[in-house]
Protein backbone atom coordinates (compact mmCIF):
# COMPACT_ATOMS: atom_id res chain seq x y z
CA UNK A 1 0.00 0.00 0.00
CA UNK A 2 2.99 2.29 -0.46
CA UNK A 3 4.28 2.14 3.12
CA UNK A 4 7.85 0.76 3.29
CA UNK A 5 8.65 -1.86 5.93
CA UNK A 6 12.10 -1.97 7.52
CA UNK A 7 13.50 -4.84 9.59
CA UNK A 8 16.57 -3.62 11.48
CA UNK A 9 19.60 -5.81 12.21
CA UNK A 10 18.78 -5.56 15.92
CA UNK A 11 15.71 -7.72 15.32
CA UNK A 12 18.02 -10.52 14.17
CA UNK A 13 19.74 -10.38 17.57
CA UNK A 14 16.55 -11.00 19.51
CA UNK A 15 15.41 -13.55 16.90
CA UNK A 16 18.61 -15.53 17.41
CA UNK A 17 18.28 -15.31 21.19
CA UNK A 18 14.69 -16.56 21.16
CA UNK A 19 15.53 -19.38 18.73
CA UNK A 20 18.34 -20.65 20.94
CA UNK A 21 16.35 -20.17 24.16
CA UNK A 22 13.20 -21.95 22.97
CA UNK A 23 14.90 -24.90 21.27
CA UNK A 24 15.36 -26.75 24.59
CA UNK A 25 11.79 -25.92 25.66
CA UNK A 26 10.43 -27.37 22.42
CA UNK A 27 12.41 -30.60 22.80
CA UNK A 28 10.81 -31.08 26.22
CA UNK A 29 7.32 -30.25 24.97
CA UNK A 30 7.35 -32.26 21.71
CA UNK A 31 8.07 -35.97 22.02
CA UNK A 32 10.65 -37.32 19.56
CA UNK A 33 11.80 -33.92 18.33
CA UNK A 34 15.46 -33.96 17.30
CA UNK A 35 17.97 -31.24 18.20
CA UNK A 36 18.00 -29.91 14.64
CA UNK A 37 14.21 -30.11 14.53
CA UNK A 38 13.89 -28.14 17.77
CA UNK A 39 15.96 -25.29 16.34
CA UNK A 40 13.94 -25.35 13.12
CA UNK A 41 10.60 -25.22 14.97
CA UNK A 42 11.94 -22.45 17.22
CA UNK A 43 12.94 -20.48 14.13
CA UNK A 44 9.44 -20.94 12.67
CA UNK A 45 8.02 -19.56 15.93
CA UNK A 46 10.35 -16.56 15.80
CA UNK A 47 9.34 -15.76 12.21
CA UNK A 48 5.66 -16.08 13.13
CA UNK A 49 6.28 -13.81 16.13
CA UNK A 50 7.90 -11.21 13.88
CA UNK A 51 4.91 -11.44 11.55
CA UNK A 52 2.61 -10.89 14.55
CA UNK A 53 4.51 -7.73 15.51
CA UNK A 54 4.31 -6.55 11.90
CA UNK A 55 0.55 -7.24 11.80
CA UNK A 56 0.17 -5.18 14.98
CA UNK A 57 1.89 -2.22 13.30
CA UNK A 58 -0.07 -2.67 10.08
CA UNK A 59 -3.22 -2.29 12.20
CA UNK A 60 -2.00 1.13 13.34
CA UNK A 61 -1.03 2.01 9.78
CA UNK A 62 -4.37 1.11 8.20
CA UNK A 63 -6.38 3.11 10.73
CA UNK A 64 -3.96 6.08 10.55
CA UNK A 65 -4.45 6.23 6.80
CA UNK A 66 -8.22 5.84 7.22
CA UNK A 67 -8.38 8.99 9.37
CA UNK A 68 -6.19 10.93 6.94
CA UNK A 69 -2.73 10.63 8.49
CA UNK A 70 0.02 9.31 6.20
CA UNK A 71 2.54 6.79 7.53
CA UNK A 72 6.20 7.32 6.65
CA UNK A 73 7.28 3.73 7.33
CA UNK A 74 6.96 0.69 9.59
CA UNK A 75 10.07 -0.43 11.49
CA UNK A 76 10.52 -3.80 13.21
CA UNK A 77 13.44 -3.65 15.64
CA UNK A 78 14.97 -5.24 18.75
CA UNK A 79 12.14 -4.34 21.14
CA UNK A 80 9.14 -4.66 18.81
CA UNK A 81 7.86 -2.37 16.11
CA UNK A 82 6.76 1.18 15.39
CA UNK A 83 4.58 2.89 12.78
CA UNK A 84 5.97 6.35 11.99
CA UNK A 85 2.81 8.40 11.53
CA UNK A 86 3.23 11.85 10.00
CA UNK A 87 1.37 14.68 11.68
CA UNK A 88 -0.92 14.63 14.70
CA UNK A 89 -4.54 13.73 15.23
CA UNK A 90 -7.01 16.59 15.64
CA UNK A 91 -9.71 14.62 17.46
CA UNK A 92 -9.52 12.39 20.57
CA UNK A 93 -11.56 9.74 18.76
CA UNK A 94 -8.98 9.41 16.00
CA UNK A 95 -6.15 9.14 18.55
CA UNK A 96 -8.06 6.42 20.39
CA UNK A 97 -8.89 4.26 17.37
CA UNK A 98 -5.34 4.47 15.98
CA UNK A 99 -3.89 3.41 19.33
CA UNK A 100 -6.44 0.64 19.82
CA UNK A 101 -5.94 -0.84 16.34
CA UNK A 102 -2.61 -2.55 17.12
CA UNK A 103 -3.69 -4.31 20.33
CA UNK A 104 -6.97 -5.29 18.62
CA UNK A 105 -5.05 -7.04 15.82
CA UNK A 106 -2.81 -8.81 18.36
CA UNK A 107 -5.88 -9.95 20.31
CA UNK A 108 -7.48 -11.32 17.12
CA UNK A 109 -4.23 -13.14 16.29
CA UNK A 110 -4.20 -14.67 19.79
CA UNK A 111 -7.77 -15.83 19.33
CA UNK A 112 -7.04 -17.22 15.88
CA UNK A 113 -3.98 -19.15 17.10
CA UNK A 114 -5.96 -20.53 20.04
CA UNK A 115 -8.80 -21.66 17.75
CA UNK A 116 -6.35 -23.20 15.28
CA UNK A 117 -4.68 -25.07 18.15
CA UNK A 118 -7.95 -26.82 18.92
CA UNK A 119 -7.90 -28.41 15.48
CA UNK A 120 -4.40 -29.89 15.55
CA UNK A 121 -2.99 -32.84 17.39
CA UNK A 122 -2.13 -32.15 21.03
CA UNK A 123 1.60 -32.23 21.75
CA UNK A 124 2.64 -31.79 18.15
CA UNK A 125 5.14 -29.16 17.03
CA UNK A 126 2.36 -27.12 15.44
CA UNK A 127 0.28 -27.32 18.60
CA UNK A 128 3.13 -26.01 20.76
CA UNK A 129 3.93 -23.19 18.32
CA UNK A 130 0.28 -22.14 18.20
CA UNK A 131 0.06 -22.14 21.99
CA UNK A 132 3.23 -20.04 22.16
CA UNK A 133 1.84 -17.58 19.63
CA UNK A 134 -1.43 -17.37 21.55
CA UNK A 135 0.39 -16.55 24.78
CA UNK A 136 2.85 -14.18 23.09
CA UNK A 137 0.16 -12.16 21.34
CA UNK A 138 -1.78 -11.87 24.59
CA UNK A 139 1.38 -10.61 26.29
CA UNK A 140 1.82 -8.09 23.45
CA UNK A 141 -1.74 -6.89 24.08
CA UNK A 142 -1.35 -6.65 27.86
CA UNK A 143 2.02 -4.91 27.66
CA UNK A 144 0.97 -2.44 24.97
CA UNK A 145 -2.19 -1.33 26.78
CA UNK A 146 -0.22 -0.25 29.87
CA UNK A 147 -1.25 3.42 30.27
CA UNK A 148 1.98 5.21 29.47
CA UNK A 149 3.73 6.63 26.43
CA UNK A 150 5.29 5.51 24.14
CA UNK A 151 3.02 2.43 24.45
CA UNK A 152 -0.38 2.20 22.79
CA UNK A 153 -1.97 2.41 26.22
CA UNK A 154 -0.34 5.80 26.62
CA UNK A 155 -2.07 6.95 23.45
CA UNK A 156 -5.35 5.61 24.80
CA UNK A 157 -4.81 7.54 28.04
CA UNK A 158 -3.90 10.64 26.04
CA UNK A 159 -7.17 10.36 24.10
CA UNK A 160 -9.23 9.89 27.28
CA UNK A 161 -7.69 12.92 29.03
CA UNK A 162 -8.18 14.92 25.83
CA UNK A 163 -11.81 13.80 25.54
CA UNK A 164 -12.54 14.74 29.15
CA UNK A 165 -12.13 18.36 28.23
CA UNK A 166 -8.41 18.87 28.56
CA UNK A 167 -6.11 19.80 25.70
CA UNK A 168 -4.14 17.33 23.63
CA UNK A 169 -0.97 18.73 25.22
CA UNK A 170 -2.36 17.96 28.69
CA UNK A 171 -3.07 14.39 27.59
CA UNK A 172 0.49 14.05 26.30
CA UNK A 173 1.96 15.24 29.61
CA UNK A 174 -0.21 12.89 31.70
CA UNK A 175 0.54 9.89 29.48
CA UNK A 176 4.27 10.65 29.29
CA UNK A 177 4.64 10.93 33.07
CA UNK A 178 2.66 7.71 33.41
CA UNK A 179 5.09 6.11 30.94
CA UNK A 180 8.03 7.18 33.09
CA UNK A 181 6.33 5.62 36.11
CA UNK A 182 5.76 2.34 34.27
CA UNK A 183 9.40 2.26 33.14
CA UNK A 184 10.55 2.82 36.72
CA UNK A 185 8.23 0.11 38.09
CA UNK A 186 9.42 -2.31 35.40
CA UNK A 187 13.05 -1.67 36.30
CA UNK A 188 12.37 -2.16 40.02
CA UNK A 189 10.41 -5.34 39.30
CA UNK A 190 13.35 -6.79 37.36
CA UNK A 191 15.66 -6.06 40.27
CA UNK A 192 13.24 -7.66 42.75
CA UNK A 193 12.80 -10.79 40.61
CA UNK A 194 16.56 -11.14 40.26
CA UNK A 195 17.03 -10.95 44.02
CA UNK A 196 14.54 -13.77 44.47
CA UNK A 197 15.99 -15.95 41.69
CA UNK A 198 19.62 -15.64 42.71
CA UNK A 199 18.83 -16.96 46.18
CA UNK A 200 17.77 -20.32 44.73
CA UNK A 201 20.58 -20.99 42.27
CA UNK A 202 23.42 -19.65 40.11
CA UNK A 203 22.93 -17.00 37.47
CA UNK A 204 22.89 -18.45 33.95
CA UNK A 205 23.78 -16.83 30.65
CA UNK A 206 20.14 -17.09 29.60
CA UNK A 207 19.07 -15.22 32.74
CA UNK A 208 21.59 -12.46 32.08
CA UNK A 209 20.39 -12.09 28.47
CA UNK A 210 16.73 -12.03 29.54
CA UNK A 211 17.43 -9.38 32.17
CA UNK A 212 19.39 -7.30 29.68
CA UNK A 213 16.45 -7.39 27.28
CA UNK A 214 13.99 -6.48 30.05
CA UNK A 215 16.15 -3.55 31.17
CA UNK A 216 16.40 -2.47 27.53
CA UNK A 217 12.58 -2.39 27.37
CA UNK A 218 12.42 -0.33 30.59
CA UNK A 219 15.06 2.04 29.19
CA UNK A 220 13.18 2.32 25.91
CA UNK A 221 10.00 3.29 27.78
CA UNK A 222 11.81 5.88 29.92
CA UNK A 223 13.61 7.46 26.97
CA UNK A 224 10.45 7.45 24.84
CA UNK A 225 8.37 9.09 27.57
CA UNK A 226 11.10 11.64 28.32
CA UNK A 227 11.48 12.52 24.65
CA UNK A 228 7.71 13.03 24.41
CA UNK A 229 7.81 15.41 27.38
CA UNK A 230 10.66 17.39 25.79
CA UNK A 231 8.80 17.57 22.48
CA UNK A 232 5.63 18.73 24.25
CA UNK A 233 7.61 21.42 26.09
CA UNK A 234 9.10 22.67 22.82
CA UNK A 235 5.62 22.73 21.28
CA UNK A 236 4.31 24.83 24.18
CA UNK A 237 7.18 27.28 23.86
CA UNK A 238 6.72 27.48 20.09
CA UNK A 239 3.12 28.66 20.24
CA UNK A 240 4.14 32.28 20.61
CA UNK A 241 6.72 32.19 17.81
CA UNK A 242 6.12 33.58 14.34
CA UNK A 243 8.55 33.45 11.44
CA UNK A 244 8.20 37.20 10.88
CA UNK A 245 9.63 37.86 14.35
CA UNK A 246 12.79 35.96 13.42
CA UNK A 247 13.60 37.51 10.05
CA UNK A 248 17.07 39.01 9.96
CA UNK A 249 17.76 42.27 8.07
CA UNK A 250 19.02 40.99 4.72
CA UNK A 251 21.03 42.28 1.79
CA UNK A 252 20.99 40.85 -1.74
CA UNK A 253 24.22 40.51 -3.73
CA UNK A 254 25.48 38.71 -6.88
CA UNK A 255 27.47 35.48 -6.46
CA UNK A 256 30.79 36.98 -7.58
CA UNK A 257 30.84 39.51 -4.74
CA UNK A 258 34.00 39.08 -2.60
CA UNK A 259 33.23 37.98 0.92
CA UNK A 260 35.08 40.96 2.40
CA UNK A 261 32.97 43.36 0.34
CA UNK A 262 29.76 41.52 1.26
CA UNK A 263 30.62 41.77 4.95
CA UNK A 264 31.38 45.48 4.59
CA UNK A 265 28.00 46.09 2.99
CA UNK A 266 26.26 43.98 5.61
CA UNK A 267 27.79 46.09 8.39
CA UNK A 268 26.83 49.24 6.52
CA UNK A 269 23.22 48.07 6.17
CA UNK A 270 23.17 46.53 9.66
CA UNK A 271 22.18 43.25 8.03
CA UNK A 272 22.69 39.76 9.44
CA UNK A 273 21.60 37.80 6.37
CA UNK A 274 22.91 37.66 2.82
CA UNK A 275 21.04 36.25 -0.17
CA UNK A 276 22.70 35.55 -3.51
CA UNK A 277 20.74 36.80 -6.52
CA UNK A 278 20.98 36.21 -10.27
CA UNK A 279 21.27 38.97 -12.94
CA UNK A 280 17.46 39.27 -12.95
CA UNK A 281 17.45 39.99 -9.23
CA UNK A 282 15.88 36.65 -8.26
CA UNK A 283 17.04 34.90 -5.09
CA UNK A 284 19.10 31.81 -5.91
CA UNK A 285 21.14 30.93 -2.79
CA UNK A 286 21.65 31.72 0.88
CA UNK A 287 25.04 32.58 2.32
CA UNK A 288 25.88 30.26 5.23
CA UNK A 289 27.13 32.15 8.24
CA UNK A 290 29.22 29.21 9.47
CA UNK A 291 30.98 28.91 6.11
CA UNK A 292 31.83 32.61 6.12
CA UNK A 293 33.31 32.28 9.61
CA UNK A 294 35.41 29.38 8.34
CA UNK A 295 37.13 31.53 5.71
CA UNK A 296 40.34 33.10 7.05
CA UNK A 297 40.14 36.94 6.96
CA UNK A 298 43.21 37.06 4.68
CA UNK A 299 41.34 35.00 2.06
CA UNK A 300 38.05 36.90 2.18
CA UNK A 301 39.00 39.49 -0.49
CA UNK A 302 39.61 36.61 -2.95
CA UNK A 303 36.78 34.21 -2.01
CA UNK A 304 33.29 35.02 -3.27
CA UNK A 305 29.77 34.48 -2.01
CA UNK A 306 29.45 31.55 -4.41
CA UNK A 307 31.98 29.72 -2.23
CA UNK A 308 29.94 30.07 0.98
CA UNK A 309 26.35 29.83 -0.20
CA UNK A 310 23.78 27.05 -0.48
CA UNK A 311 21.56 26.85 -3.52
CA UNK A 312 17.88 27.32 -2.72
CA UNK A 313 16.17 23.93 -2.94
CA UNK A 314 12.72 22.76 -1.89
CA UNK A 315 12.40 23.16 1.85
CA UNK A 316 14.86 26.05 2.16
CA UNK A 317 12.19 28.56 1.13
CA UNK A 318 9.43 28.97 3.73
CA UNK A 319 6.23 31.01 3.91
CA UNK A 320 6.08 34.20 5.96
CA UNK A 321 2.83 33.06 7.60
CA UNK A 322 4.35 30.08 9.41
CA UNK A 323 4.11 30.04 13.19
CA UNK A 324 4.33 27.65 16.12
CA UNK A 325 4.30 23.96 15.31
CA UNK A 326 4.02 24.61 11.57
CA UNK A 327 7.27 26.56 11.69
CA UNK A 328 9.02 23.79 13.63
CA UNK A 329 7.69 21.19 11.21
CA UNK A 330 9.09 23.11 8.23
CA UNK A 331 12.52 23.30 9.86
CA UNK A 332 12.47 19.61 10.81
CA UNK A 333 11.48 18.61 7.28
CA UNK A 334 14.60 20.21 5.77
CA UNK A 335 17.36 20.76 8.36
CA UNK A 336 19.55 23.75 7.50
CA UNK A 337 21.29 26.67 9.18
CA UNK A 338 19.43 29.37 7.23
CA UNK A 339 16.14 29.67 5.33
CA UNK A 340 14.72 32.21 2.91
CA UNK A 341 11.32 33.63 3.89
CA UNK A 342 8.93 34.71 1.13
CA UNK A 343 5.45 36.24 1.11
CA UNK A 344 2.42 34.89 -0.74
CA UNK A 345 3.64 36.49 -3.97
CA UNK A 346 7.02 34.76 -3.73
CA UNK A 347 8.84 37.98 -2.88
CA UNK A 348 11.73 37.61 -0.47
CA UNK A 349 11.17 38.97 3.05
CA UNK A 350 14.61 38.06 4.37
CA UNK A 351 16.48 35.25 6.06
CA UNK A 352 15.89 33.38 9.30
CA UNK A 353 18.60 31.34 11.06
CA UNK A 354 18.03 28.11 12.94
CA UNK A 355 20.29 29.43 15.71
CA UNK A 356 17.88 32.35 16.25
CA UNK A 357 14.94 29.94 16.38
CA UNK A 358 16.68 27.79 19.00
CA UNK A 359 17.48 30.86 21.12
CA UNK A 360 13.87 32.02 20.85
CA UNK A 361 12.63 28.62 22.01
CA UNK A 362 15.08 28.56 24.92
CA UNK A 363 14.10 32.03 26.07
CA UNK A 364 10.35 31.62 25.62
CA UNK A 365 8.62 31.00 28.99
CA UNK A 366 6.72 27.69 29.25
CA UNK A 367 3.00 28.20 28.81
CA UNK A 368 0.72 27.07 31.59
CA UNK A 369 -3.01 26.58 31.72
CA UNK A 370 -4.89 29.29 33.53
* Structural domain containing residue 33: 5-238
Length of the chain, please?
Answer: 370
The alpha carbon torsion through 34, 39, 43, 46 (nearest 10 deg) reads: 110
Q: Is 178 a domain residue?
A: yes
- Give the range with max mean pLDDT: 25-29, 202-206, 279-283, 361-365: 279-283
Distance CA 163, CA 264 (A): 58
Q: Is residue 64 part of a domain?
A: yes
Other CB atoms within 10 A of residue 183 CB:
23
Name the domain boundary from 220, 238, 256.
238
Does one domain contain both 231 and 338? no
Nearest partner of 46 among 74, 25, 75, judged by Cα: 25
Rounded to an integer, what distance in angstroms lies between the CA atom of residue 358 and that of residue 364?
A: 10
What pLDDT, on a 0 to 100 scale, did the predictor assign at position 368? Answer: 38
pLDDT at 343: 92
Q: For residues 74 and 102, what is the distance between their CA atoms, to the nearest angstrom?
A: 13
Percent of the chain beyond pLDDT 70? 94
The pLDDT assigned to 114 comes to 95
In this structure, is residue 312 part of a structural domain?
Answer: yes
Mean pLDDT of the chain: 88
* CATH code of the domain covering residue 267: 3.10.580.10
Domain membership of residue 249 (yes or no) is yes
Residues near 191 by Cβ (< 8 Å), separated by ≥ 6? none
Reply yes or no on whether the pLDDT at 361 is more than 90.
no
Question: Quick one: 216 and 294 in the same domain?
Answer: no
pLDDT digits (tens, 9 = 90+) for 92-122: 999 999 999 999 999 999 999 999 999 987 8
* pLDDT score for 235: 73
Q: Could you say which of 205, 238, 271 is where a domain stops? A: 238
Residue 215: cis peptide before it, omega within 30 degrees of 0: no
Q: What are phi and psi of 347, to 5 degrees?
A: -85, 135
Q: Of the given ranges (133-147, 192-206, 212-226), which has the lowest mean pLDDT?
A: 192-206
| 115 and 71 part of one domain | yes
Query: What letters, b where the CB count within 10 A reaches 16 and e where it falls short, cover 108-122?
Result: ebbeebbeebeeeee
Q: What are φ and ψ of residue 24, in 5° steps?
A: -65, -40
Same domain (yes/no): 138, 118: yes
57-66, 207-216, 352-361: which range is least confident on average?
A: 207-216
Q: What pLDDT band is residue 213 in, cutting at 50, 70 and 90?
A: confident
Q: What is the mean pLDDT of residues 332-359?
A: 91
DSSP codes, 26-45: HHHHSTT--HHHHHHHHHHH
Residue 202 is predicted with a pLDDT of: 62
Q: Rg of the Cα trace of the chain?
A: 28
Is residue 15 located within the same domain as residue 127? Answer: yes
| % the chain with pLDDT above 90 | 60
CA–CA gap between residue 126 and residue 119 (Å, rounded) = 10
Last residue within a domain, chosen from 212, 238, 264: 238
Convert the pLDDT of each residue in 126-177 to its tens digit: 999 999 999 999 999 999 999 999 999 999 999 999 999 778 888 999 999 9
Confidence of residue 364 (pLDDT cuts 50, 70, 90): low
Neighbours of 8 (CB within 10 A): 12
Strand, helix or coil for residue 119: coil
pTM: 0.70
Let me know whether 202 and 289 are in one domain. Answer: no
What digits encode the pLDDT tens for the residues 184-195?
Answer: 998 888 777 777
Q: Do 264 and 308 belong to one domain?
A: yes
> Is 369 contained in some domain?
no
pLDDT (tens digit, 9 = 90+) per residue, 263-296? 999 999 999 999 999 999 999 999 999 999 999 9
Which pLDDT value is given to residue 188? 87
Residues 18 and 60 in one domain: yes
Does residue 184 sit in the same domain as residue 217? yes
pLDDT in tens, 228-242: 888 777 777 777 789
332-344 tens-digit pLDDT: 888 899 999 999 8
Same domain, 209 and 282: no
Query: Do the domain assignments include residue 368?
Result: no
In a domain, 370, yes or no: no
Claim to verify: residue 164 and residue 303 sit in the same structural domain: no
Are residues 212 and 277 both part of a single domain? Answer: no
pLDDT the model gives residue 369: 34
- pLDDT band with cut points at 50, 70 and 90 for residue 366: very low
Flag whether 200 is in a domain. yes
DSSP conformational letter for 158 = H
Q: Which residue has the higher pLDDT, 257 or 334?
A: 257
Domain count, the chain: 2
**Residue 1, pLDDT above cutoff 50:** yes
| CA–CA distance, 174 with 170 (Å, rounded to integer) | 6
What local confidence, expressed as pLDDT, does residue 370 receive? 30
Amino acid sequence: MGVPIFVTPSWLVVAGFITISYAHFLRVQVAGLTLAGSYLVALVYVIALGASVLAHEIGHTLVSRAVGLPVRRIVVFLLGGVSEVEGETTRPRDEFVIAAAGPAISFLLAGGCWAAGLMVGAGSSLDVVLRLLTATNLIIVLFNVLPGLPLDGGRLLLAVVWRLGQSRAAGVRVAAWSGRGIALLLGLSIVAVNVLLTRDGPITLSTIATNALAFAVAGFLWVGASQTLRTADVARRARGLHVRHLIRPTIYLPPNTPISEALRRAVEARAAGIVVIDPAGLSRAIVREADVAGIHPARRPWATLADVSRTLEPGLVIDDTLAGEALLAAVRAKPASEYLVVDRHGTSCGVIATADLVRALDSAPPRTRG
